[in-house]
Amino acid sequence: MAASLKTVLTETLGCRFPVVQTAMGWVADAKLTAATGNAGGFGFLAGATIEPGKVEATILDVKARTSSPFGVNFHMFQPNAEEVLEAVIRHKVRAVSYGRGPDARTIKRLKDAGVICMPTVGALKHAVKAVELGADIVTVQGGEGGGHTGAVPTTILLPQVLDAVKVPVVAAGGFSDGRGLVAALAWGAAGIAMGTRFLLTKDSPVPMSSLQRYLKTKDPTEIKVSTAVDGLPQRFIENEELKRLEAMSLPARLAMSAKYARHWGKEAGLGPLAMVKLGLKLMSGDEGGFRQTVMAANLPTLVQRGVVAGDPVNGLLPSGQVAARIDRLESCEELIARIVSEAQERLAALAALRLETVDTGRAN
């Protein structure tokens, strides 16, 4: 493996290779985050799904496993958002990732503490807004990506954003190998971010029963976008649970969500008043609305069932379309080494190309 593959991303984040592991909820744990860093990439810990009271211990767990820098993600709607912010600043975490929740004041607080702000966006206008609010780097996820996603493919969205902002841009949505890395660099990106590819590694905490369901999916059209879970477009492996949700009436889904919300609130230590306040906060967001707010509890319950409990039939399996191209599990070390090797081969092949002037025979 090469000593490094430098871009502005590696220089800013302090990693050897411009490969980022995204903060997949309940998947990007301390082990996976550290394994990514030890392999030369940059890992994000899924801070948005860490239970209240356990954020600091989890950050220290990552630090015990690696000396490499890493990041933590969060969103302002989680009950322990302040706990995450305080821990990130106190332990001098290199970077944070987030959606559109933090305001300019919160972002400035992080930047003043030396934390790099690196939001993930799925639309051009959101990228522009993120930079206006103070983002240092922007990760752009095209519609091929997993979980909540937009409608514009990476091949269109990435050059749009590159033309519109003056900060480094990281490409996400559809990447899994060295060819993709070189393609992103050729567009002008500073590196790539991958979620599904890191989920499907030997360092992933996802049980083998669910990993096998991912590996068996070979048709990209079976990794579909649905609004049946929480009212917002999300991409999942099409399975029995997703089909059941899509066949349910809206009243039935809302009733199911209310039940899950009560259970989630109890586990999070939130009383009725705190739940009402959180609901109002959700409704005031960019994607707010009664339906989305009530149905929001569906996601954590069903995703945990799929990727934590290992039930690929009755749980949900968030996934990018790139899962259809993945046929084996590798360690993070093997994965990043292969990506770098493939990238070097492609870069060498491109360097060998020569532009030749063709004489058309016409007079000047």
| Domains in the chain, CATH or no CATH each | 8-208 (3.20.20.70), 209-307 (no CATH)
Query: First-to-last CA distance in the chain?
Result: 50
- Say if CB 37 and CB 66 are below 8 A apart: yes
Nearest-angstrom CA–CA distance, 247 and 228 = 9
Of the pLDDT bands very low, low, confident and very high (cuts 50, 70, 90), residue 278 is very low
Q: How far is CA 356 from CA 54, 353, 359, in A?
A: 61, 10, 10
Nearest-angstrom CA–CA distance, 68 and 187 = 28
For 35, phi then psi, to 5°, come to: -65, -35
pLDDT above 90 as % of the chain: 77
Nearest-angstrom CA–CA distance, 301 and 266 = 13
pLDDT tens sequence across 286-304: 544 444 444 456 678 899 9
For 250, phi then psi, to 5°, come to: -60, -45
pLDDT tens sequence across 152-175: 999 999 999 999 999 999 999 999
- The whole-number pLDDT of residue 249 equals 84
Report helix, strand or coil for 232.
coil
- The whole-number pLDDT of residue 251 equals 78
- Which of the given ranges, 76-85, 112-121, 227-236, has the highest pLDDT on average? 112-121
Radius of gyration of the chain (CA): 21
Residue 170's H or E segment, with its range, is: strand 169-172
Tokens 């799925």 belong to 122
